[in-house]
Amino acid sequence: MRRMSDIVRNQNPLMLPPAATVRYACQCMRERKVGAVLVTDQEGHLVGIFTGRDAIGRVIAEGMDSEATTLGDVMTPNPRTVPPKCSAIEVLRHMFDLGCRHIPILENDRVIGVVSKADFRGVEVDRLDEETGLWERL
């Protein structure tokens, strides 16, 4: 069973401060081809997460100005995180339970990466589907 430390090895996650504008964050996301920005304070501690879904639901759909709106205004504060020792299936369970697509990986209160549903292999997704099906039948 794969651990998160295997998936995020040598990862350089996109991290921006809360004062960064939504427009800048979206440009960075496009350039890096990622779906999430980890919002960190000056010491590098995670304070929030901003995703493409947030850009649509919290900014565009609300008619906010992406050049005037900061990540701190629209991020999800204090997102759920997992340690690198977690298995892939454990993280997929968290994603399913929380209804999210991205989960930051923290070690000793420091960001070491972020995983998305796309990072998981078919066998891991199949196992979660199987477990979910079992629970629904009970």
* Three-state secondary structure call for residue 118: helix
- Tell me the two tokens of residue 81: 């995180």
CATH class belonging to 4-137:
alpha beta
Residues pairing with 106 in the sheet: 111
Which of the pair, 133 or 46, is modelled with greater confidence?
A: 46
**Which token pair is 137?**
């039948």
SS (H, E, C) 25-71: HHHHHHHHCCCEEEEECCCCCEEEEEEHHHHHHHHHCCCCCCCCCEH
What pLDDT score was predicted for residue 78?
94
Q: In the predicted model, what is the mean pLDDT of residues 45-53?
A: 97
Q: What is the rounded average pLDDT of the residues 85-110? A: 89
pLDDT at position 130: 61
Every domain of the chain and the residues it spans? 4-137
Specify the pLDDT at position 118. Answer: 80
Predicted confidence band of residue 33 (pLDDT cuts 50, 70, 90): very high
**Share above pLDDT 90 across residues of the chain, in percent, rounded to a whole number:** 59
Neighbours of 41 (CB within 10 A): 11
pTM value > 0.95: no
pLDDT beyond 70 at 72? yes
